[in-house]
């Protein structure tokens, strides 16, 4: 099985409960976490029955046990790193071909970053992470029924951001360099990777570069 990560094309909506029993604000995000029966930007299709089966297991073993965690950013492996956890998924339900989720933002260091982003009006997305096998059919790859979720949703930047970021790299990305986030040689390396990527691998390469950029951001 291989690691399968998916950026959702829909932003999640923040929900703020003004006061809980302790007099503090509770923060949640909710929206579409996963989709079935459509070809996504990675060229992959999740058959509905595959997600249905896995969501049922995930709900029973993780959501209902209050241990369905997600991280800020997108790790390179399937393991949930507790020191990077930012939220806990409290609901994951089927609505047509969509699987809609709700997550509570936790009082962890990364959770506090998410709360600050929400307070400042940031647009956030979710990205699922799991392990599974793929089968090529026509011009798409189908996720097979051995698929297992590591998390139904890590919190990531605006789902449209990878495209915007990649376009910026190809134009020189002066704002990235001037902010000191990336070094010039990193930009050159990213440009080379994009220019040499095979057409079939282009979307995967774009997402990989965005993940690398995001990891650099959250380490600052």
Contact yes or no for 29/155 (Cβ under 8 A): yes
Active site residue 36: no
Reference 143, options 9, 38, 60; nearest CA is: 38
The residue from 5, 36, 86, 127 that is catalytic is 127
Task: List the structure tokens of 206.
Answer: 């774009």
CA distance 179 to 189: 18
Question: DSSP assignment, residue 63?
Answer: I
Annotated catalytic residue 87: no
Q: Which two three-digit tokens encode residue 73?
A: 């950013």
Distance CA 59, CA 150 (A): 12
Q: Which of 36, 74, 86, 87 is catalytic?
A: 74
Give the active site residues. Answer: 74, 127
């Amino acid at each position: 099985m291989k690691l399968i990560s998916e950026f959702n094309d829909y932003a999640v909506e923040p929900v703020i409960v003004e006061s809980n029993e302790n007099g503090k604000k509770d923060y949640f995000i909710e929206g579409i976490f996963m989709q079935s029966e459509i070809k996504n930007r990675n060229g992959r299709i999740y058959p509905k029955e595959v997600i249905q089966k896995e969501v049922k297991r995930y709900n029973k073993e993780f959501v209902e046990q209050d241990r369905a965690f997600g991280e800020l950013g997108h790790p390179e492996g399937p393991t949930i790193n507790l020191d990077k956890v930012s939220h806990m998924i409290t609901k994951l339900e089927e609505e047509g071909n969509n699987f809609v989720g709700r997550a509570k933002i936790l009082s962890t260091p990364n959770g506090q970053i998410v709360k600050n982003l929400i307070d400042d009006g940031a647009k956030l997305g979710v990205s699922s992470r799991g392990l599974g096998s793929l089968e090529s059919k026509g011009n798409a790859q189908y996720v097979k029924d051995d698929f297992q979720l590591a998390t139904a949703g890590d919190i990531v930047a605006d789902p449209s951001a990878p495209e915007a970021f990649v376009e910026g790299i190809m134009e020189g990305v002066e704002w990235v360099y001037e902010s000191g986030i990336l070094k010039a040689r990193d930009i050159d390396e990213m440009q080379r990777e994009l220019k040499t990527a095979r057409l079939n691998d282009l979307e995967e390469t774009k997402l990989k570069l965005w993940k690398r950029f995001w990891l650099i951001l959250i380490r600052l």
